[in-house]
Chain A
C-alpha cells in the first residue's frame, strides 16, 4: 500500500457564496489537508462550519475561489447528506444504477446488487421504491449504490447519523472492511466523536465562520478498535476537549 501518496489533497482552498440578498458567506477559508490513499479521514465540526462545502469541492461540484484541489476525478463516490436515490426507481435499480451506467450486463449486475443488498440487510426490499422504505433503509440503499459505483475515493456526509446504534456499528464495520479490501480512500463527515475515533486514521477539526481546519489529530491505534477500552475513552475525551476549545 502506497499510503503516502495523497489520494485527495487541498491546499489553501477558500470558497465563499453570495446569498440571495447579496451577502457574502465565507463558507471555508484556507483549507489545507491530505487524505493518503487507502486511509480514512474524518471531518468533525459544528453545524454550518463548511463540511459539506469541503466535500462538494472535493467532488468537483463547486469550484474554489482560490487554492488548489487534487482529486481523482471520475473515481469519486459521493454520499450526500440528504439521500439522492431516484424516487422512480426501485431499490434494486437504484443500487444497480452505477453498474448500468457503466454498461454492465443484466445478469452480472443483478448478482452484484444482490450481494450488496445482502451485506446491507436490504435483501427482500429490492422491489420497493424509496418512499416505501424507512429512513434508515433509504440510507442503506444509498450506501449500496455507493458500493456499486466501485469508485476509489468515497466522500461521505454524515452517512450513519439517522441509524440506530446497532446498525450504525454494523455499517461502520462494513465500511472499514470494504474500504480495506478495495483500498478505498475515505473522507467522512460526522458529528459523532465516537464515530470519528472509531473510524479515522486522522481527524480534522473544522471551526466555524469561516470554516477552517484548526486541528489535525492522528489516530494510530490498529483497527478494529475496542470501544470499551481505556485508550478509546481517552481518545474521545481528547477530541472532545479540542473540539470544545475550537468552538470556544
Chain B
C-alpha cells in the first residue's frame, strides 16, 4: 500500500477494528449465559453488582465491591510508594557511586528473577498476621482498626519487592545516560551535588523512572490480586473473586475481573501520561 491516507487510519474505522475482539468476548459470554451454564452470570446480574458497589454481597463472606477495591488499592499504593521511595534514591546512589553499586548489584541481579508470588507463602509465614495496625497500634489493639489491620505487612513487602526492581533499574539507566557535557556545565557553574541532581540528573531521569513505574505497576497489579487469593486475607478484589467462586456467586467474580481490568487500564494510561509529560523534551531530536 503506497497511498498516504490509508483507509484503516480514520478514527471510526480504528474504533470499529479495535472493538472486534472485545465484541467476540462479549458474544461468547452472552452465548455462555444463554446456554444455561451455572457458572456464567447474565449481563444483568453483573451490571447490577457493578452499579451497586456499596451493597454487601448477601451470601458471600466478603465486603462490598467498593470496599474490596479500596483495600486492594491501599495495599497497592503502599507497596508501590515504598518501592518508589527506596528504588529512586538507591538507584541514583548506585549509578553515581561504585561502592554502593558493588554492594547492591549482586543481590539485585540475584533477586530480580524471583517471582514475588513465589516468596509470598514464606514471607507470610515469617511475618504472620502482622499488619499496619499491629505495627502502629500494637498486637492487642490492632483488631479495633479494621482497615489498617487488613493491610498485611507481608503483602506490602511482596508488592514492594515486585515494584522495586523495574524502578531501580530504570533509575540507574536514566542516571547513567545523563550527558557528561551537562554535568561539566553544572560543575563549571559551581553547582554542588544537590543542585546537579535537582537540575540535571532528576529531570533527565524522570521519564526513565516513569517508564519503570509503568512496568512495575503491571507486575504489582498481578501480584496484589494473586496475593489476595492466598489464605490469610479477608478483603480485596482477589479475595472477592476467589470466595465468590467458592460460593458460586459468579456475578461477583465477573464484576471483580472487569474492575481489575478497568483499574489496570486507567492507572497504566495515567502513568503513560506522566511519562510523556516528564519526557516531552525527548520527543524531538534536532
Interface residues of A (CB under 8 A from B): 59, 61, 74, 76-78, 80, 82, 84, 86-89, 97-98, 100-102, 129-131, 149
Give B191 Cβ to nearest chain A Cβ, in Å.
5
Report if B1 contacts A (CB, 8 A).
Answer: no
A101 touches B182 (CB 8 A): no
Chain A residue contacts of B16, Cβ below 8 A: none
18 other A-B residue contacts (CB within 8 Å) besides A74-B190, A77-B188, A80-B181 = A61-B184, A61-B188, A78-B184, A78-B185, A82-B181, A84-B181, A84-B182, A86-B199, A86-B200, A88-B203, A88-B281, A97-B189, A98-B189, A101-B186, A101-B195, A101-B199, A131-B284, A131-B286
Give A97 Cβ to nearest chain B Cβ, in Å.
7
A101 touches B191 (CB 8 A): yes
Chain B residue contacts of A84, Cβ below 8 A: 179, 181-182, 184-185
Report if B75 contacts A (CB, 8 A).
Answer: no
Give B175 Cβ to nearest chain A Cβ, in Å.
15
B281 touches A129 (CB 8 A): yes
A101 touches B185 (CB 8 A): no
Give B7 Cβ to nearest chain A Cβ, in Å.
34
Chain B binding site: helix, strand, loop or mixed by DSSP? Answer: helix
- Near A by CB (< 8 A), chain B positions 164-186 give 179, 181-182, 184-186
Question: Looking across the interface, which residue of chain B has its beta carbon closest to that of A83?
Answer: B181
Provide the bound-state CA to CA distance between A89 and B186, in Å: 14
Chain A residue contacts of B204, Cβ below 8 A: 88
- Most A CB within 10 A of own CB, among B191, B203, B281: B281
- Most A CB within 10 A of own CB, among B186, B188, B195: B188
Write 25 A-B pairs (CB below 8 A) sorted by A numbering.
Answer: A59-B184, A61-B184, A74-B190, A78-B185, A80-B185, A84-B182, A84-B184, A84-B185, A86-B203, A88-B203, A88-B204, A88-B281, A89-B203, A97-B189, A97-B199, A98-B189, A100-B199, A101-B190, A101-B191, A101-B199, A102-B190, A129-B280, A130-B281, A131-B281, A131-B285
Question: Looking across the interface, which residue of chain A has its beta carbon closest to that of B207?
Answer: A88
Provide the bound-state CA to CA distance between A36 and B282, in Å: 42
Chain A residue contacts of B203, Cβ below 8 A: 86, 88-89
Chain B residue contacts of A101, Cβ below 8 A: 186, 189-191, 195, 199
Provide the bound-state CA to CA distance between A102 and B203, in Å: 20
Provide the bound-state CA to CA distance between A84 and B184, in Å: 9
Question: Looking across the interface, which residue of chain A has its beta carbon closest to that of B206?
Answer: A88
Q: Which 7 A-B pairs have the closest CB atoms?
A: A87-B281, A88-B203, A131-B284, A84-B185, A84-B181, A101-B191, A88-B281
Provide the bound-state CA to CA distance between A87 and B284, in Å: 10
Provide the bound-state CA to CA distance between A74 and B189, in Å: 8
Provide the bound-state CA to CA distance between A102 and B192, in Å: 10
Chain B residue contacts of A149, Cβ below 8 A: 189
Give B113 Cβ to nearest chain A Cβ, in Å.
33
